[in-house]
Amino acid sequence: MSPYSAPTAPRPPLRVALAGIGVVGGGVVRLLEANRELIARRAGRPIDIVAVSARDRHKDRGVDLSPYRWEDDMEALVSADDIDVVVEMIGGADGSALTLARRALGAGKALVTANKAMIAHHGLALAAIAEEKDTPLKYEAAVAGGIPVIKAIREGASANEIARVYGILNGTCNYILTQMERNGASFADALSAAQAEGYAEADPTFDVDGIDAAHKLSILAALCFGTRLDIGAVTADGIRGLIAADIREAEALGHRVRLIGMAERDENGLYQHVQPCLVPADHPLAYVPGALNAVVAEGNFVGRLFFEGAGAGAGPTASAIVADIIDIARDEYGPAFAMPVDALDAAPAADVGARVGKHYVRLIVEDRIGVLAEITAAMRDAGVSIESFIQRGDDEGSDVVIALVTHESPASAIHAALAVLGASDHVVGAPMHMPILAL
Ligand SMILES: NC(=O)c1ccc[n+]([C@@H]2O[C@H](COP(=O)([O-])OP(=O)(O)OC[C@H]3O[C@@H](n4cnc5c(N)ncnc54)[C@H](OP(=O)(O)O)[C@@H]3O)[C@@H](O)[C@H]2O)c1
């Protein structure tokens, strides 16, 4: 049958089960109900919620679940004959989410998930089950929430060799950095504001230490480079070490501080690193405000692609999940990582220390004679030459903030210099360093 011709008989509804009815699950129920007619026309058939499941049946979730069958036991979603697609919105790399995902795919059901931790850790194993059972595994919502970046890279940019992929992959951190930028706030105050606004969890570790961004980066890297997912090879430095002066000095240098996840493949292997960076003010990433996310992919024919949008929240995340469900309704699916698991190759991890670039370095030092000489000597001994240097009184009064920009140097040389300076009696607290993003 031609894809243009109307089906001779209407296609049966696609029957969906929702596992986990929290922020995201509630959004999916609302979206499927609100746009039901439009979605049916686009998908070529209705999409029906058949069953829902979470831990507490009696919890008020702000959505009416009475039209749907409630299952206390998720196993019932896997064994039911009237369910085509299981949507996993529970969370966590392992535990109930992983058990459900394995069992659903194993039973030949399609799986849609928003769970970046699970995909980062177990995506290859799940993709292998999906292939064996010839059933879809889709995870658009797992990376950058509402931004359709998985589809864009997997399909729209699929003709390109991608040299590097990078971006702002955690909205909580971007919100905190934007607060620090606008108000001159400390990291602690900006984090409290993010928690008060609901952008950060009570325990912000996953976000502010770069772990959440690392999960998303590893998924993007596999997709962009055709490599096997390797979350163990991603290194992550978060934003806890930043102080208000870093944001100020970056601005004085014509840059903004952003937490950047970057993956790049070259002859040395695959580099995957999440860390705060100085982004030049003329790069679009410097203008991504608040809790938004943005992804840049550089293709050898298309050039630079830039995607920006909401990386979290009920509506945007539901938008990505339902787009996956619509693809399944249209029978549009293929290998989860754009090629069969056996075709993905294992790139060796590149040495992060060998990366050459300019760096921003900040130290707080005692205001006394000889300290500047100590800094320049440590840099010289490590083979790092200094391009520019700013010295200002500390906000507290007695100490001095030194911010400097290096010429191009390997990261390992910066680490060596800072190890020496960090041990000095005249340096207060831990030195901070950030690479300056090269365009
Ligand atoms: N929130 C976002 O903006 C966002 C964006 C992108 C991706 N994601 C991903 O989407 C997933 C869900 O996030 P969320 O924010 O919606 O989480 P959430 O609000 O905490 O909801 C989690 C849901 O899972 C259920 N659940 C938890 N543990 C369970 C278990 N052991 N057995 C059965 N049900 C269980 C909970 O049941 P009860 O309600 O009964 O406790 C709840 O309904 C996560 O993987 C997250 O990383 C979230």
- For residue 20, the CA-to-ligand 1 centroid distance in Å is 5
> Which of 19, 18, 25, 20 is CA-nearest to residue 314?
25
- For residue 54, the CA-to-ligand 1 centroid distance in Å is 9
Who wins on pLDDT, 5 or 173? Answer: 173
- How do residues 365-411 score in pLDDT, each as one tens digit? 998 888 999 999 999 999 999 999 998 876 555 789 999 999 999 99
Q: What's the pTM value of the predicted model, to 2 decimals? A: 0.96
Q: What is the pLDDT of residue 438?
A: 87
Q: How confident is the model at residue 9 (pLDDT cuts 50, 70, 90)?
A: confident
- For residue 141, the CA-to-ligand 1 centroid distance in Å is 13
Taking the C-alpha atoms of residue 88 and residue 17, their distance in angstroms, rounded to an integer, is: 9
How wide is the angle at C-alpha 62 spanned by C-alphas 291 and 174, nearest 5°? 5
- How do residues 159-200 score in pLDDT, each as one tens digit? 999 999 999 999 999 999 999 999 999 999 999 999 999 999
Compute the chain's Rg from CA coordinates. Answer: 24
Q: How confident is the model at residue 7 (pLDDT cuts 50, 70, 90)?
A: low
Over 90: is that where the pLDDT of 5 sits?
A: no
Q: Which of 75, 86, 89, 169 to mutate to test the pocket of ligand 1 (most atoms within 8 A of CB)?
A: 89
Q: What are residue 209's phi and psi, to 5 degrees?
A: -95, 5
- How do residues 15-49 score in pLDDT, each as one tens digit? 999 999 999 999 999 999 999 999 999 999 999 99
Q: What is the pLDDT of residue 149?
A: 98
Over 80: is that where the pLDDT of 2 sits?
A: no
Q: What is the pLDDT of residue 218?
A: 98
> Which of 246, 257, 262 is CA-nearest to residue 288?
257
Which is it for the CA torsion 175, 212, 62, 27, positive or negative? positive
Percent of the chain with pLDDT over 70: 98
- How do residues 121-153 score in pLDDT, each as one tens digit? 999 999 999 999 999 999 999 999 999 999 999
- How do residues 249-273 score in pLDDT, each as one tens digit? 999 999 999 999 999 998 889 999 9
> Which of 141, 104, 93, 98 is CA-nearest to residue 324?
141
Q: Classify 258 as helix, strand or coil.
A: strand
* Alpha helices for 4-107 (secondary structure H): 23-34, 36-43, 75-79, 95-106
- How do residues 81-101 score in pLDDT, each as one tens digit? 999 999 999 999 999 999 999
Q: What is the pLDDT of residue 267?
A: 87
* Catalytic residue status for 216: yes
Upper half-sphere CA count for residue 87 (Cβ side, 13 Å): 36
Please identify which of the residues 109, 116, 138, 216 carries the catalytic annotation: 216
Whole-number Cα distances in Å, 70 to 21, 64, 99, 366, 432: 11, 12, 19, 64, 52
- For residue 56, the CA-to-ligand 1 centroid distance in Å is 12
> Which of 292, 294, 298, 333 is CA-nearest to residue 313?
292
Q: Which of 30, 58, 90, 121 to mutate to test the pocket of ligand 1 (most atoms within 8 A of CB)?
A: 90
Average pLDDT, the chain: 95
* Chain position carrying tokens 């699929």: 158
What mean pLDDT do residues 228-241 have?
96
Position 366, amino acid = E
Q: What is the pLDDT of residue 4?
A: 73
How many CB atoms lie under 10 A from the CB of residue 398? Answer: 9
What mean pLDDT do residues 323-342 have?
97
Over 70: is that where the pLDDT of 349 sits?
A: yes
Q: Is 115 in the pocket of ligand 1 (CB under 6 A)?
A: yes
Cβ density class 22-43: b for 16+ within 10 Å, e for less? ebbbbbbbebbeeeeeebbeeb
Q: What is the pLDDT of residue 127?
A: 98
Residues paired with 116 in a beta bridge: none
Which is it for the CA torsion 286, 291, 292, 298, positive or negative? positive
Q: Decide the pairing of beta strands 47-53 and 14-19.
A: parallel
Taking the C-alpha atoms of residue 36 and residue 19, their distance in angstroms, rounded to an integer, is: 20
How wide is the angle at C-alpha 274 spanned by C-alphas 269 and 275, nearest 5°? 120
Q: Is 171 in the pocket of ligand 1 (CB under 6 A)?
A: no
Contact 292, 308 (CB under 8 A): yes
